[in-house]
Amino acid sequence: MIDVVVPGLETSVQDFPGRIGFWNQGFPPSGPFDSWSFRLANLLVGNPAGAAGLECQYVGPTLKFTQPAVIAVTGANMAPTLDGIPVPLWQSVAVTAGQTLKTGPAKSGTRAYIAIAGGIDTVPWLGSRSTFHKAGVGGLAGSALKKGSQIPVAYAAGTPGRSVKPECRPEFSSNKQWQIEVVPGPDDEWIDEAGQARFLGSDWKLSAKSDRTGFRLDGPQWTFTAKAYDKLPENGSEPSNIIDHGYPLGAINLAGQTPIILVSDGPSMGGFINPYTVPSAAFWKLGQSRPGDVYRFKAVSVDEAQALRRTLDALCRESSLL
């Protein structure tokens, strides 16, 4: 067991790729926002890339180890220490029984990941240990870590001293501006040419009204094609309304004039159009941004999005480690 001394800000158990195959029943995949950093953390400690670990956002936890372990901290720099001694990021480290790992506010990036050799051994729910907060399932009793709770770990020896090659790590934007790839569709034909050009050519600021369900964006007004107005009444009165239909993960859901990127814990369907979709290979950028950061969107084809995912997956392998 690992004792939770300080829980951090909504620190949760996640695994990769998450809870797959149950979205039609209302359960999204969940899983880590930045799967790149998450998978590398697991590989560092000798786990399968998708083993359950901790996702820490904005402010990390303080954890006391009751037995020896090998850990790795990746992603955002939360200045981790073991009994006050700095812990190197992107490297596997040995922990002795009784030592305390402390993490603080993120100095760069937003989400850090903690992997423990053997993986977190909570009870799977619908095939995954990932926490889906709003339904209270997965993780530790379906919620974020709490002070005084204990995290079960399946013991494994692990190998300390391994590190991720610098060129195989994600780089977090220092100027708070991100280029986010998007694939047109499924409802891009509802937005006129001027509206699409405005979307791709404008700055969009991430709102504080954002969470693992949706990332709300502030920016210019949208304009629509005749299709958005010349429609049957059951489609709804707003130009962005449509008869309820399925949403892809990463959909940029247009609620009135407000675009919301549907992320890891997002809904599976609803009555708004989705002019663009953020591909899975760009999710790590979303996970490492924070309110006030600026997005500029770049249109890519489905083939290009799939190539980006293959490139990302290739980086999440043993060959990226030293």
Query: Is residue 48, in this structure, part of any structural domain at all?
Result: yes
Give Cα 28 to chain centroid, integer Å: 13
Query: Is residue 120, in this structure, part of any structural domain at all?
Result: yes
Same domain (yes/no): 191, 113: no
Same domain (yes/no): 143, 198: no
What is the tally of structural domains in the chain? 2
Q: How many CB atoms lie within 10 A of CB 251?
A: 27
pLDDT reported for residue 26: 87
Same domain (yes/no): 104, 202: no
Dist. CA 8–CA 17, nearest whole Å: 23
Domain boundary among 148, 168, 188: 168
Instruction: Report whether pLDDT(39) > 90.
Output: yes
Domain boundary among 119, 143, 168: 168
Q: Which amino acid is at 107?
A: K
Dist. CA 158–CA 275, nearest whole Å: 46
Query: Is residue 320, in this structure, part of any structural domain at all?
Result: no
Query: Is residue 322, in this structure, part of any structural domain at all?
Result: no
pLDDT reported for residue 173: 64
Instruction: Report whether pLDDT(241) > 70.
Output: yes
According to DSSP H, which parts of the chain are helical? 35-44, 193-201, 283-288, 302-315
pLDDT reported for residue 126: 95
Same domain (yes/no): 13, 133: yes
Instruction: Report whether pLDDT(261) > 70.
Output: yes
Domain boundary among 133, 168, 203: 168
Q: Which amino acid is at 148?
A: G
Task: List the domain range (segments joined by +) for residue 251.
Answer: 177-315
Task: Tell me the β-bridge partners of 183.
Answer: 277
> What pLDDT digit, counting tens, does each position of 279-289 carry?
999 999 999 99
pLDDT reported for residue 137: 92
Dist. CA 123–CA 85, nearest whole Å: 33
pLDDT reported for residue 24: 86
Instruction: Report whether pLDDT(177) > 70.
Output: yes
Same domain (yes/no): 86, 220: no
Q: Which amino acid is at 244?
A: D
Same domain (yes/no): 100, 10: yes
- 40-44, 97-101, 168-172: the lowest-pLDDT one: 168-172
Same domain (yes/no): 133, 198: no
Dist. CA 317–CA 322, nearest whole Å: 11
Query: Is residue 321, in this structure, part of any structural domain at all?
Result: no
CA geometry: angle at 23 spanning 20 and 27, to 5°?
90
Same domain (yes/no): 24, 157: yes
Same domain (yes/no): 310, 243: yes
Q: Which amino acid is at 118?
A: G
Banded pLDDT at 155 (limits 50, 70, 90) = confident
Query: Is residue 98, in this structure, part of any structural domain at all?
Result: yes
Percent of the chain with pLDDT over 90: 91
Instruction: Report whether pLDDT(175) > 80.
Output: no
pLDDT reported for residue 141: 86
| Pairing between β-strand 177-184 and β-strand 294-299 as defined by DSSP bridges | parallel
Instruction: Report whether pLDDT(170) > 90.
Output: yes
> What pLDDT digit, counting tens, does each position of 56-90 carry?
999 999 999 999 999 999 999 999 999 999 999 99
Instruction: Report whether pLDDT(174) > 80.
Output: no
Banded pLDDT at 114 (limits 50, 70, 90) = very high
> What pLDDT digit, counting tens, does each position of 194-239 carry?
999 999 999 999 999 999 999 999 999 999 999 999 999 888 889 9
| Pairing between β-strand 177-184 and β-strand 269-277 as defined by DSSP bridges | antiparallel
Same domain (yes/no): 163, 181: no
Same domain (yes/no): 186, 159: no
**What CATH number should be reported for the domain holding residue 311?**
2.40.100.10
> What pLDDT digit, counting tens, does each position of 127-154 carry?
999 999 888 999 998 899 999 999 999 9
Same domain (yes/no): 195, 252: yes
Query: Is residue 225, in this structure, part of any structural domain at all?
Result: yes
